[in-house]
Structure 1
Amino acid sequence: MMGHSHAVSGALLFAAASPHLPPVLVGRPLGPADVLMGTILCAGAALLPDLDHHDSTFAHWLGPVSRALCRLVGWISGGHRRATHSLLFVVLAGGGTWTGISCLGRGFTLGLTFCLLTLAVRALHLHPPGSGPATWVYPTGLAALGAAGLDSWLPNTPQWLPCAVALGVSAHLLGDLLTRRGIPLFWPLGRHYEIALIKRTGNRVETRFLVPLMTVATFVVLWFAAFPTITPAT
């Protein structure tokens, strides 16, 4: 699936799951601000598995630097759609986030927030079109402003953040599971699993049906998740 599709699916998954996350994982019921922040950051986290691809959304962030990083991750993970497209990576991403916010505190939290916001802005095309400097300067600046704005809302150790990252990665895996190439869910076992509803990335089924449907569903679900209806007293 395309980066835009992955980002929208990540936002939808967090919005839908947020009212049902176990208190043992998030520490307390999520308020409207938590749900909104988690939905946006989960959209960015849904791009993380493609760190193994030299032409991914992340690869275009910082030009040669980010492309070199993606090539390195791809080499370490065995190529595109290998280690980073597995259930093991879901565990590592969520567990790594939990370890980071627990051991490194606010600096890690804000740094990760900035990175996820940048990925979300790029994937959702919230920047000028084209391939010039504005395509990375604008998302980076907008993400920096967003992270600074969220600084007053984010606790030092937001316990829902590892859930947002794990759900974002899971949304990516679910999306690629619908494509012809499939994914190695149980890597390092080599078998790829697929439910080939999308024959080609970026085809009409994805761009004209799935993405609009998921976008509308995200806003509807987000409304009810962040602002649940209060039943009047009788």
Structure 2
Amino acid sequence: MPVCMGRTHAVMGAALWLAAAPSLADRLGQELSGGSLALSAFAASGAALLPDLDHPRATLARTLGPVTGNLARAVAALAGGHRKGTHCLMACVAVGAVTGLLRVKTGTVGMVAILFVLAYVAMLTLGLAAWKGRPAGDVILVAQATVVTGAGGFVCRGDWWWMTWAVGGGMLIHILGDMCTLGGVPLFLPFSRRRICLPVMGRTGSVPESVVAATGFAAFGVWVTCATVAGSPWWTLAWLN
């Protein structure tokens, strides 16, 4: 997976989750503090890389060397190859459900472990460390992920309801991003093998993909900022009045 697409997925995961999470919390009758929102953005950003664990050359597959490399090959075999079994709605539901089960069974310990991995992957993909690919860079990334997970234990205090949604939602955001490239995704596997494709980004890793993604994020950021300043929900046109 080209690095630029990996970054696109990570940024999309964080940005769209930040926009959707407050409304989701309100609809579910849950509390979502500013600290929890920030932490959940790291989780969604890292989870937005999970579908590409079916590709041995993807960022996530190279995170822990042979360990994640072998895992990626196993996932690819089970999924039937790249952009197949891990790139459908059922995969989002299944992984989200497993995360929810782990939350019930393991509590804060399991959620902190998941947050650490997802935060590390997000920071690695976004290049949030000097000397990337060197031992010093790895130490910095581990330290950053440790700070995030430490904050998680302090801020959340056992209330991790959002983790299930951030993981499943992050995966869904990835799949929707891939759906906007020429390759498309088999969105409704295992019920249909037909690939759904809205190729507004062109080929994965191409210049059009980078331009469309950058332009879209810029417009989205301006829209949400203006709506927030005006005191209106960002998903409405109220701030234009």
- TM-score range (shorter-chain normalised) is 0.7 to 0.9
> Partner residue of 2:47?
45
Deviates more, 1:211-220 or 1:161-170: 211-220
> Partner residue of 1:92?
94
d(CA) in 1 for partners of 2:222, 2:144: 22
Seen in structure 2, the aligned counterparts of structure 1 residues 191 and 199 have a Cα distance that, compared at 3 Å, is: same
> SS of 1:105's equivalent?
helix
Seen in structure 2, the aligned counterparts of structure 1 residues 109 and 92 have a Cα distance that, compared at 3 Å, is: same
Per the TM alignment, residue 129 of structure 1 is displaced from its structure 2 partner at its CA by: 4.9
TM-score w.r.t. the length of structure 2 is: 0.84
Find the partner of 1:11 among 14, 18, 25.
Answer: 14
> Partner residue of 1:195?
198
Per the TM alignment, residue 71 of structure 1 is displaced from its structure 2 partner at its CA by: 0.8
Per the TM alignment, residue 199 of structure 1 is displaced from its structure 2 partner at its CA by: 1.9
d(CA) in 1 for partners of 2:211, 2:107: 42
> Partner residue of 2:239?
none
Question: Is the aligned partner of 1:117 residue 2:89?
Answer: no
TM-score w.r.t. the length of structure 1 is: 0.87
Seen in structure 2, the aligned counterparts of structure 1 residues 115 and 14 have a Cα distance that, compared at 3 Å, is: same
Seen in structure 2, the aligned counterparts of structure 1 residues 64 and 210 have a Cα distance that, compared at 3 Å, is: same
d(CA) in 1 for partners of 2:200, 2:57: 23
Seen in structure 2, the aligned counterparts of structure 1 residues 218 and 54 have a Cα distance that, compared at 3 Å, is: farther
Q: Which has the higher contact order (CA 8 A, sep 6+)?
A: 1
- RMSD across aligned C-alpha pairs, in angstroms? 2.5
Deviates more, 1:121-130 or 1:68-77: 121-130
> Partner residue of 1:63?
65
Residues 146-195 of structure 1: CA distance to partner in whole angstroms, max 9, x if unpaired?
21232211232411111111110111011000011111111122111101
| Residues 6 and 172 in structure 1, CA contact (< 8 A), matched pair in contact too | yes
Aligned counterparts, 1:150-189, within 5 A: 150-188=152-190, 189=192
> Partner residue of 1:73?
75
Find the partner of 1:207 among 206, 210, 222.
Answer: 210
Seen in structure 2, the aligned counterparts of structure 1 residues 220 and 141 have a Cα distance that, compared at 3 Å, is: farther
